[in-house]
Amino acid sequence: MRITALQIAPTEAASELAMEPIILTDSLEKVYRVGKVKVPALRGVTLTIDQGEFVAVVGPSGCGKSTLLHILGGLTRPTAGRVLVDGNDFCCMKDAEMTRFRRDKIGFVFQRYNLLPTLSARQNIALAQEIAGNGFNPHRFERVTKLLGIEGKLNSRPFALSGGEQQRVAIARAVICEPKLLLADEPTGNLDSENSQVVLSMLRQLNEELRQSVVMITHNPEAAAFADRIVRMRDGRIVSN
């Protein structure tokens, strides 16, 4: 259940209100260059997302959703404008610092799962913990795999898992190191509607139980219904928020 400011003690409410938003962007622009051609992908995106929010980003193909998500995740630099994640201004970060920040604070989920095919589900998830240098945390591992309902699938390799199961493993991998922010690009894009519902309700549960902020791109109107807020984009701009 979501805790509102009214339900918590005044001092706690004050500190909650004083928290930095998880995401703050100001007039973000992105122009890709393809040879001599300039392709404008973002044309001034100003957006604030609070800690713990679950936001869906919707809009027609090519309107700049993935570009925005990649910028929020520090995978791409904007051409102009500012982006702060958890109070950290990306423009001041060198690439190595950005890589560390991304590893510690941000989890990514993609449409195509991107699991390593030669590793079991367990190894795929545990590898993320090792790479982060946190060592294996059995308590966290158990909590996350249970929440995602994949305890019985941990010894399977990706080819032996259904699409929905692979995506749940990919989500476990993304959140195993307790990132403050989870970014998902069309996480249900390859799933049938039943599996989509399962994956979406799990994202929602992670958001509520682990208090993880989520930004999810989606084409699916049902998917957007799982979010607290819907941001609509068109032609590189936010048209409703």
Ligand X SMILES: Nc1ncnc2c1ncn2[C@@H]1O[C@H](COP(=O)(O)OP(=O)(O)O)[C@@H](O)[C@H]1O
Residue of 128, 141, 192, 183 lying closest to 164 (CA atoms)? 192
Instruction: Report the residue number, 25 or 66, with the smaller CB distance to Mg ion.
Output: 66
* Nearest distance, CB of residue 29 and ligand X, angstroms: 12
Does 239 interact with ligand X (rule: CB under 6 A)? Answer: no
SS3 assignment, position 12? helix
CA distance 219 to 19: 31
Closest distance to Mg ion from the beta carbon of 65 (Å): 5
d(CA 219, CA 103): 27
Query: CB-wise, 66 or 207, nearer to Mg ion?
Result: 66
Binding segment toward ligand X, per CB under 6 A, in 59-67, 79-87, 128-136, 222-230: 59-67
| Element spanning 28, H or E | strand 23-34
Among 3, 8, 39, 131, binds ligand X (CB under 6 A): 39
Please state at what angle helix 121-131 crosses helix 163-175, rounded to 10 degrees: 20
Stretch that binds ligand X, among 45-53, 56-64, 116-124, 224-232 (CB under 6 A): 56-64
Residue in 83, 74, 85 with CA at minimum distance from that of residue 51:
85
Closest CA to 53 of 239, 182, 222, 198: 182
Between 172 and 191, whose beta carbon lies closer to ligand X? 191
At its nearest, how many Å lie between Mg ion and the CB of residue 57?
A: 10
CA separation for the pair 167, 163 (Å, rounded): 6
Residue 62 contact among Mg ion, ligand X, none, beta carbon within 5 to 8 Å by kind: ligand X
Site for ligand X in 102-141 (CB under 6 A): none
Q: Which is nearer to ligand X, 67 or 207 (CB)?
A: 67
Return the one option of ligand X, Mg ion, none that residue 136 interacts with (CB less than 5 to 8 A, by type): none
Q: How far is the CB of 216 from Mg ion (least distance, A)?
A: 12
Residue 55 is a binding residue for ligand X (CB under 6 A) = no
Rounded least distance, CB 231 to ligand X, Å: 12
Find the binder of ligand X among 4, 61, 193, 240 (CB under 6 A): 61
Pair of tokens at residue 20: 């930095």
* Residue 166, token pair as written in the block: 């692979």
C-alpha angle 221-224-228 in degrees, rounded to nearest 5: 155
Distance CA 61, CA 138 (A): 40
Distance of closest approach, residue 163 Cβ to ligand X, in angstroms: 20
In whole angstroms, the minimum distance from the beta carbon of 59 to ligand X comes to 6
Strand partners of residue 184: 109, 216
Binding-site ranges for ligand X (CB under 6 A):
32, 34, 39, 41, 59, 61-67
